[in-house]
């Protein structure tokens, strides 16, 4: 690498296929916005104007390849047919990209094929264990995952799943947790004494996020109201479940929430009933905001939510166990609660900041372009 190349930002093209603005897309938005260390461009395959506008409104260089669907057949066609690969290959050439960074399942085969055509190094981010657990994903990903120079997992749990699935990849596996934009999630004041207890779920509404588990746990917590912040395919089913359980009068479905920090201001705690969770960025945001976290012990969550130390974990993934953890949270003495919240904020500042995430990825980009 020349001295000039070493002194300027590395040019990275991120490839993402997104039906809506979920955790992977939010991580990418944080990574690329106002980052002076790297020159970021996004290649977006999406049917959603919301996703496109989120990146453009942030001032990010984004090139959209409009697709009609994010369904499995559309993804297979994108991966196997030459049209989308040709578009992406041309974009790599036009942007003079030096590194290709792949983020979501729908981007991985098409992104790999284009990167190989241009002989560019590939970085992957494994945002969850989906590509390893879901046979419909693995049947495609297994043919291209070995082409990545480095594969980054958002938690050690995800890394261990990847390592078990493909032991030969172990030397190329790194852990880079998603980072919290600390200035966007400052410590919030404690809610007013006497305010009715209120919790929030901040999540995409789909089966693996376990919002139904939270609703069932709420039955055993009659004093607690709940805000459900998020949207997704399970929204109608979850609204009906709340009615069936008799908790609709104390459950607010708020849909997509663009300002999560503002939503956290109105609650005492954030609850997760996830069945699978690569990391749990919204839980980290809650911890940064000094909101108590109560969660099921799945995936990467126990790596930062330590029971009784930085949050409360249920014994297992059942609604009954989650309800007991919520009750323990509600019973905390004020002094113990304040100590826990201080430790939780400190963990985010120390290990899960946006600055730490950016520095780790910037080091990888430099490493690959200096080989």
Q: What is the pLDDT along the chain (371 residues), one digit of tens a residue?
A: 444 455 789 999 999 988 777 788 889 999 999 888 899 999 998 887 888 888 899 888 999 987 765 655 666 666 677 889 999 999 999 999 999 999 988 889 999 999 999 999 999 999 999 889 888 888 888 889 999 999 999 999 999 999 999 999 999 999 999 999 999 999 999 887 778 899 999 999 999 999 999 999 999 999 999 999 999 899 999 999 999 999 999 999 999 898 999 999 999 999 999 999 999 999 999 999 999 999 999 999 999 999 999 999 999 999 999 999 999 999 999 999 999 999 999 999 999 999 999 999 999 999 999 97
C-beta of residue 212 within 8 angstroms of C-beta of residue 232? no
Q: Same domain for 34 and 75?
A: yes
Question: Residue 107 sits in which domain range?
Answer: 3-179+353-369
Q: Same domain for 214 and 299?
A: yes
Q: Same domain for 342 and 360?
A: no
- List the Cα angle 252/21/85 in 5-degree steps: 155
Q: Same domain for 109 and 200?
A: no
Sheet holding 225-229, edge to edge: 251-255, 225-229, 198-202, 269-272, 292-295, 312-313
Tell me the two tokens of residue 57. Answer: 């409104």
Q: pTM to 2 decimals?
A: 0.89
Listing DSSP states for 263-307 in one string gives HHHT-SEEEE--S--S--HHHHHHHHTT-EEEE---TTGGGT--B
Task: Compute the CA torsion angle 73, 79, 83, 89 (nearest 10 deg).
Answer: 150
Q: Same domain for 234 and 313?
A: yes
- How many domains is the chain built from? 2
Q: Same domain for 343 and 361?
A: no
Q: Same domain for 169 and 149?
A: yes
Q: Any idea what the CATH number is for the domain that residue 343 is in?
A: 3.40.50.2000
């Amino acid at each position: 690498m020349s001295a000039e190349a070493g002194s300027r930002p590395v040019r990275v093209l991120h490839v993402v296929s997104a039906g809506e603005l979920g955790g992977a897309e939010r991580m990418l938005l944080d990574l690329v916005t106002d980052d002076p260390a790297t020159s970021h461009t996004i290649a977006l395959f999406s049917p959603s104007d919301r996703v496109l506008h989120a990146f453009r409104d942030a001032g990010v260089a984004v090139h959209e390849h409009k697709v009609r669907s994010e369904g499995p057949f559309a993804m297979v066609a994108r991966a196997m047919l030459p049209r989308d690969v040709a578009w992406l290959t041309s974009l790599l050439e036009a942007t003079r990209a030096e590194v290709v960074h792949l983020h979501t399942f729908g981007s991985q085969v098409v992104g790999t094929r284009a990167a190989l055509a241009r002989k560019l190094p590939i970085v992957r981010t494994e945002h969850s264990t989906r590509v390893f657990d879901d046979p419909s994903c693995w049947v495609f990903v297994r043919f291209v995952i070995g082409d990545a120079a480095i594969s980054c997992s958002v938690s050690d749990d995800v890394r261990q799943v990847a390592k078990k699935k493909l032991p030969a990849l172990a030397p190329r596996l790194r852990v880079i947790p998603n980072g919290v934009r600390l200035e966007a999630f400052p410590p919030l004041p404690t809610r007013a004494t006497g305010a009715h207890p209120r919790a929030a779920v901040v999540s995409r509404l789909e089966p693996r996020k376990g919002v139904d588990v939270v609703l069932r746990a709420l039955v055993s917590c009659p004093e607690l109201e709940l805000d459900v912040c998020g949207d997704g395919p399970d929204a109608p089913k979850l609204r009906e479940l709340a009615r069936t359980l008799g908790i609709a009068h104390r459950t607010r479905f708020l849909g997509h929430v663009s300002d999560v920090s503002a939503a956290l201001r109105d609650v005492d705690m954030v609850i997760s009933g996830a069945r699978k969770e690569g990391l749990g960025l919204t839980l980290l945001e809650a911890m940064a905001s000094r909101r108590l976290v109560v969660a099921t012990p799945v995936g990467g969550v126990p790596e930062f939510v330590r029971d009784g130390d930085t949050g409360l974990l249920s014994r297992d993934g059942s609604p009954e166990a989650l309800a007991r953890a919520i009750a323990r949270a509600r019973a905390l003495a004020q002094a113990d609660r304040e100590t826990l919240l201080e430790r939780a904020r400190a963990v985010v500042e120390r290990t899960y900041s946006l600055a730490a995430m950016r520095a780790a990825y910037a080091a990888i980009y430099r490493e690959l372009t200096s080989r």
